Structure formats: structure tokens, C-alpha cells
Structure 1
Amino acid sequence: MLALVLESLEEDKAEDVVSIDLTGKTPIADHMVVASGRSQRHVGAVADHLVRRMKEAGFGTSQVEGMKQGDWVLIDGGDVVIHVFRPEVREFYRLEKMWSADIPADQLAV
């Protein structure tokens, strides 16, 4: 599933994509992916396409929060949790910093 998520984000021109391995850190997921969209519309489109691609690939229906607002969309794909932000919102919450404090910055970017 992680490969599909990263491929979809790249195809839809998501920016600053970061994949964080959560194995052994939390039972909620094996990976977290954080990405940015350029606008609310772009965030919504990236998230919508990703949800559809995951369903078409046989991963079932994902739980989605924030699609209507388009500032921060959370997609719970089970093994992979995806956050798609507007850049300003991402900078405010800094999720990847919180979850990867022990990983050097140059190893975060995908």
C-alpha cells in the first residue's frame, strides 16, 4: 500500500512528501505519509484521487477526515496513515517533527 500511496502523491504533484516508518513506535499504523498541496482545491483533489486509487487497488474504503475544508485531510488506510496539508497548516502542526524526532532531516524526504 505504501508504494501506491507514494506513487499517487507523485502523480498528483503533491509537494514535500515525507514517509515515516512507525513500526514499533505505535500500533496505529506501520507508516505515516505527510504531503502538501498548493491550495485547498489541490489538497482535496490529491486526497480524493488517493482514496479512489486505494479502493480500486483493493484496499477497501478508507476513513477520511477534513475533505470538505481542504486545509488538512487525514486518510486512514489501515497500515498507512496519510496527511495532506496546505503548507501553512503543515508548518503549524509539524507532525513529521513530532513522529520522527530521532531521524536526521536528510533521511525524511522521499
Structure 2
Amino acid sequence: MTTPPIKASSERILDTVLSSLEDDKAEDIVTIDLRGKSAMADNMVVCSGRSSRQVAAISEKLTDRLKQEMGIICKVEGKDQGDWVLIDTGDVIVHVFRPEVRDFYQIEKMWMTPQAAPAKA
């Protein structure tokens, strides 16, 4: 009788994601804790690559590493275009952008804690 593989913890997946992104020279890496904000995942990671080619390469290496090291088959969207790649590991969602596309969508702002509105005089 074979035992089923042990599911990797959310923290271990996040550590592997961040390590892979740093190894592949992703820029402006931001981690957003989604626990208590959304049931879709525990964490979201947003980063940039300098070009469409680098965005695609970062994404491909990340999905390969997660598969090899943890047995995680990720859902991936947008890799062919290389402007914005979404990688869903289940517990961690990763967005890899070209800088111009990231600036346009400003996805981090959607998940930031709202700041107090400035007082009107």
C-alpha cells in the first residue's frame, strides 16, 4: 500500500516561490498576506521581469521547480504573451509582470489595507 504524498505547507510553497524568483532575478518582489482577506489563497506574490522573454522564463522556471521539488502542478495563464503571467499553486498565487503592465494594472493596490482618507479643511 502506497501512502499519498504529503501536501506542502503554504509557507514552504511561499519560500520556494520567493527563492526561485530571487534566483531568476525577478524585480520588485512583493508578498501580500491574503489570510483573512480571501479564501482563494494564503499569499499572493507580485514581481516584475525586465522583458517579455524574462517574464516567460521566470514563470517557466518557477513552475518547473515547484513540480520537481514539491510535485505541484500549477495552473498557468498568459505565458505565451509574456506581459502578465499568473501562476496558481493553490496556496500561493504569483503574478509576474512586465514593468509597464504592472504599472497599468497596479494589482497590489487592490489588496493593500486602505489608508485613512486625508481630512478635508
Moved more, 68-77 or 94-103: 94-103
- Taking structure 1 as the reference length, the TM-score comes to 0.90
Structure 2 equivalent of residue 64 of structure 1: 76
Paired residues, number: 103
3-state SS, counterpart of residue 57 of structure 1: helix
Aligned counterpart in structure 1 of residue 108 of structure 2, from 77, 96, 107: 96
Deviation at 1:4, TM superposition (A): 0.4
Could you say which residue in structure 1 is the equivalent of 2:61? 49
Residue 7 of structure 1 deviates from its aligned partner by 0.4
Relative to the length of structure 2, the TM-score reads 0.82
Structure 2 distance, partners of 1:83, 1:17, is: 10
Runs of 4+ in 1 over 2 A off after TM superposition: none
- 5 Å-filtered alignment, 1:16-35, equals 16-35=28-47
Higher relative contact order (CA 8 A, sep 6+): 1
Separation (CA, whole Å) in 2 of partners of 1:10 and 1:35: 10
| Higher Rg of the two aligned structures | 2
Q: Alignment identity in percent?
A: 58
Indicate how the Cα distance of structure 1 residues 78 and 59 shifts in structure 2: closer, same or farther if over 3 A, else same.
farther
Q: Return 5+ residue gaps in structure 1 as ranges.
A: 104-110
> Structure 2 unaligned runs (5+)?
1-12, 116-121
Secondary structure of the residue that 2:29 maps to in structure 1?
strand
- In the aligned structure 1, how far is the partner of 2:16 from the partner of 2:99? 23
